[in-house]
């Protein structure tokens, strides 16, 4: 998850400690060196061995677009970032759905989207109501589940604030794509591996839903082998139960935070690299304003982050990637979705503070992909009248067929090479991979034309 503040009623108390805010009107990507890189050492320091992190960081720019109430904007439901020619741009939920041709005839009715996050967000219900009212979405069916008890939320803790942003993005974006689906938000007590594993175990053993979204991760070398094995067995159980499982790849290009949080290392992340998971990278989408018509995409790589991708050193290339991925390791990602903050999705987020309800941010990062892909498959499940379950084999069958260009936007430009300043002040570059025709280790197979994808996954009419 990456975010750029698009609108606000007031700056939350304690925000200075959690959010790096540029002057009002500053544009991402045009700031001075002091606002450079997420590649900065402070970004890396969030990581720690045995702990997953949401694909997020503090925003690098603050952009006020006008006051938004729960029903309409002062300018008649049109923010300045939505206007034709706006730079940076932004998208409402309906505009992003239109860009990817999400059919309105399917709503996810009767299906449940499960989302795992950590710590909790005391104001998620209020934020969701603001999002629904502002952008014409029906009231959501949201259940919040605490398998290990409800943790106390600390609004002065930057880590917990970042997770609250992840929760807002996950819940609101999935609801926008599948507005009639039930959302089960499962909150782990913390972001330690053991607590995340406990939440995953609860989800799978209770078969809470039809699809599962996970927008967090850590480098392969930072997760203990016992946790890797336990996760994999749970994903196998989920497959047998007919669940579809998604995870974000990460926002540090070809890198992942090191186990001590001091630097970045070239790596893919877990759980995205598990071959029983559908891993999701990120793109920079250009769509027409204000109707959201699809125009073009490139690999996401800017001052906010870059789409992680590469090859696993733990898992061999699965058979379903044969003939598509040309490496001995499991290739990551499988697919991608819009994730550039500069063309971000408008999300209501109050940082868990009731006085801030009504604030709208632009969100991005690879975190944006899993909840929306999960919602897309909830639509497919509804239309098929049965759960599709594990979809990777089918996705790669499509990639090897003449239907590939019909189902996917093949993203062929950009890369995930990154440079960052380490703790010693030295510039370090992690050479990544380039996007190109077909599958690549930046955007996978590409982004979906959802209407076409659903027709191929479920040939019957809806």
CATH code (residue 74):
3.40.50.200
- Kindly state the percentage of the chain with pLDDT values over 90: 73
Least confident of 67-76, 252-261, 362-371: 67-76
Q: Tell whether 462 is covered by a domain.
A: no
The answer to whether residue 43 scores a pLDDT higher than 70 is no
The answer to whether residue 184 scores a pLDDT higher than 60 is yes
Contact in structure between 83 and 290 (CB atoms under 8 Å): yes
The answer to whether residue 443 scores a pLDDT higher than 50 is yes
Q: Rounded to whole angstroms, how far apart are CA atoms 302 and 321?
A: 29
Could you write out the DSSP letters of every residue in 72-111?
-BTTSS--GGGSTT-SSEEE-HHHHHHHTT--TT---TT-
* Nearest to 142, CA basis, from 171, 169, 168, 110: 171
Q: Rounded to whole angstroms, how far apart are CA atoms 268 and 412?
A: 20
Q: How is residue 434 annotated by DSSP?
A: B
pLDDT band at 85 (very low <50, low <70, confident <90, very high): confident
Query: Could you read off the pLDDT of 225-267 as tens digits, one per residue?
Result: 999 999 999 999 999 999 999 999 999 999 999 998 888 999 9
Query: What pLDDT score does 88 carry?
Result: 80
The total of structural domains in the chain comes to 1
Degrees (nearest 5) of the Cα angle 205, 211, 212? 70
Least confident of 7-16, 55-64, 96-105, 207-216: 7-16
Could you write out the DSSP letters of every residue in 5-44?
EEE-SSPPTTHHHH---PPTT--TTSS-GGG--TTSHHHH
Query: What pLDDT score does 424 carry?
Result: 83
Q: Which residues contact 225 (CB under 8 A, 6 or more apart)?
A: none
Query: Could you read off the pLDDT of 135-165 as tens digits, one per residue?
Result: 999 999 999 999 999 999 999 999 999 999 9
Exposure of 109 in the CB half-sphere (CA atoms within 13 A): 6
Q: Rounded to whole angstroms, how far apart are CA atoms 443 and 34?
A: 29
Query: What pLDDT score does 120 carry?
Result: 96
pLDDT band at 73 (very low <50, low <70, confident <90, very high): very low
Query: What pLDDT score does 336 carry?
Result: 98
The answer to whether residue 7 scores a pLDDT higher than 90 is no
Query: What pLDDT score does 4 carry?
Result: 47
Query: What pLDDT score does 11 carry?
Result: 33
145 forms beta bridges with 186
Q: Rounded to whole angstroms, how far apart are CA atoms 167 and 161?
A: 10
Give the helix/strand (H/E) hosting 231: helix 225-240
The answer to whether residue 221 scores a pLDDT higher than 50 is yes
Contact in structure between 114 and 142 (CB atoms under 8 Å): no
Query: What pLDDT score does 423 carry?
Result: 80
The answer to whether residue 398 scores a pLDDT higher than 50 is yes
* Nearest to 252, CA basis, from 311, 215, 304: 304
Q: Cα separations (Å) of 161 from 43, 120, 333, 350?
A: 15, 9, 27, 9
Q: Which residues contact 46 (CB under 8 A, 6 or more apart)?
A: 53, 57, 159, 162, 257, 261
CA 395 and chain centroid, separation:
19
Query: What pLDDT score does 417 carry?
Result: 98
Contact in structure between 256 and 306 (CB atoms under 8 Å): no
Higher pLDDT residue, 195 or 425? 195
pLDDT mean across residues, the chain: 85
Average pLDDT over residues 112-118: 98
Q: Cα separations (Å) of 459 from 81, 206, 244, 375, 382?
A: 38, 31, 19, 19, 13
* Nearest to 331, CA basis, from 442, 451, 184: 442
* Helix 369-384 × helix 158-177 angle, to 10°: 30
Q: Rounded to whole angstroms, how far apart are CA atoms 310 and 273?
A: 9
Full domain range(s) for residue 111? 2-457
Query: What pLDDT score does 320 carry?
Result: 98
Q: Rounded to whole angstroms, how far apart are CA atoms 394 and 333?
A: 15
* Residue found by looking up tokens 């399917």 in the block: 106
- Kindly state the percentage of the chain with pLDDT values over 70: 82
Query: What pLDDT score does 225 carry?
Result: 96
Query: What pLDDT score does 327 carry?
Result: 97
Can you point out the beta strands (E) in 87-171? 89-91, 112-118, 141-145
Higher pLDDT residue, 303 or 460? 303
Q: Tell whether 319 is covered by a domain.
A: yes
Phi, psi of 321, rounded to the nearest 5 degrees: -95, 0
Query: Could you read off the pLDDT of 278-331 as tens digits, one per residue?
Result: 999 999 999 988 788 999 999 999 988 999 999 999 999 999 999 999 999 999
* Residue found by looking up tokens 């500069």 in the block: 342
pLDDT band at 68 (very low <50, low <70, confident <90, very high): low
pLDDT band at 173 (very low <50, low <70, confident <90, very high): very high
Q: Tell whether 62 is covered by a domain.
A: yes
Pairing relationship of beta strands 2-7 and 360-364 according to DSSP bridges = antiparallel
Average pLDDT over residues 436-441: 98
The answer to whether residue 273 scores a pLDDT higher than 80 is yes
* Nearest to 337, CA basis, from 396, 303, 377: 377
CA 288 and chain centroid, separation:
22
Query: What pLDDT score does 87 carry?
Result: 79
Q: Which residues contact 107 (CB under 8 A, 6 or more apart)?
A: 178, 179, 180, 181, 379, 382
């Amino acid at each position: 998850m990456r975010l750029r503040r698009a609108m606000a009623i007031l700056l939350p108390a304690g925000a200075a400690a959690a959010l790096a805010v540029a002057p009002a009107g500053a544009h991402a990507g045009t700031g001075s060196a002091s606002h450079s890189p997420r590649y900065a050492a402070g970004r890396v320091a969030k990581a720690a061995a045995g702990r997953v992190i949401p694909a997020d960081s503090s925003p690098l720019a603050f952009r006020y677009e006008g006051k938004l109430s729960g029903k309409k904007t002062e300018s008649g439901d049109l923010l300045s970032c939505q206007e034709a020619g706006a730079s940076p741009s932004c998208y409402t939920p309906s505009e992003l759905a239109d860009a990817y041709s999400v059919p309105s005839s399917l709503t996810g009715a009767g299906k449940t989207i499960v989302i795992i996050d950590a710590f909790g967000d005391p104001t998620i219900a209020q934020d969701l109501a603001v999002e629904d009212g502002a952008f014409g979405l029906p009231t959501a069916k949201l259940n919040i589940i605490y398998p290990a008890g409800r943790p106390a939320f600390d609004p002065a803790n930057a880590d917990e604030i970042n997770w609250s942003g992840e929760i807002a993005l996950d819940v609101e974006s999935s609801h926008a794509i599948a507005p009639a689906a039930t959302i089960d938000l499962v909150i782990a007590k913390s972001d330690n591996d053991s607590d995340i594993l406990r939440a995953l175990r609860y989800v799978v053993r209770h078969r809470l839903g039809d699809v599962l979204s996970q927008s967090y991760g850590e480098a392969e070398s930072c997760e203990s082998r016992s946790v890797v094995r336990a996760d994999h067995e749970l994903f196998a159980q989920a497959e047998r139960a007919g669940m579809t499982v998604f995870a974000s790849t990460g926002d540090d290009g070809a890198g992942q935070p090191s186990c001590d949080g001091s630097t970045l290392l070239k790596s893919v992340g877990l759980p995205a690299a598990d071959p029983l998971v559908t891993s999701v990278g990120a793109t920079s989408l250009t769509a027409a304003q204000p109707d959201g018509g699809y125009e073009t995409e490139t690999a996401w790589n800017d001052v906010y982050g870059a789409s992680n991708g590469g090859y696993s050193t733990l898992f061999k290339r699965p058979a379903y990637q044969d003939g598509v991925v040309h490496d001995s390791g499991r290739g990551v990602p499988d697919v991608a979705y819009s994730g550039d903050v500069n063309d971000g999705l408008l999300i209501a987020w109050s940082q868990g503070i009731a006085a801030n309800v009504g604030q709208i941010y632009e969100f991005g990062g690879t975190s944006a992909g899993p909840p929306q892909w999960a919602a897309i498959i909830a639509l497919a499940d509804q239309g098929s009248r049965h759960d599709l379950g594990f979809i990777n084999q089918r996705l790669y069958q499509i990639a090897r067929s003449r239907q590939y260009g019909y189902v996917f936007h093949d993203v062929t430009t950009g890369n995930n090479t990154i440079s960052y300043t380490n703790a010693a002040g030295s510039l370090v570059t992690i050479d990544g991979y380039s996007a190109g025709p077909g599958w690549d280790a930046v955007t996978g197979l590409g982004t979906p034309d959802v209407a076409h994808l659903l027709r191929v996954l479920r040939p019957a009419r809806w």
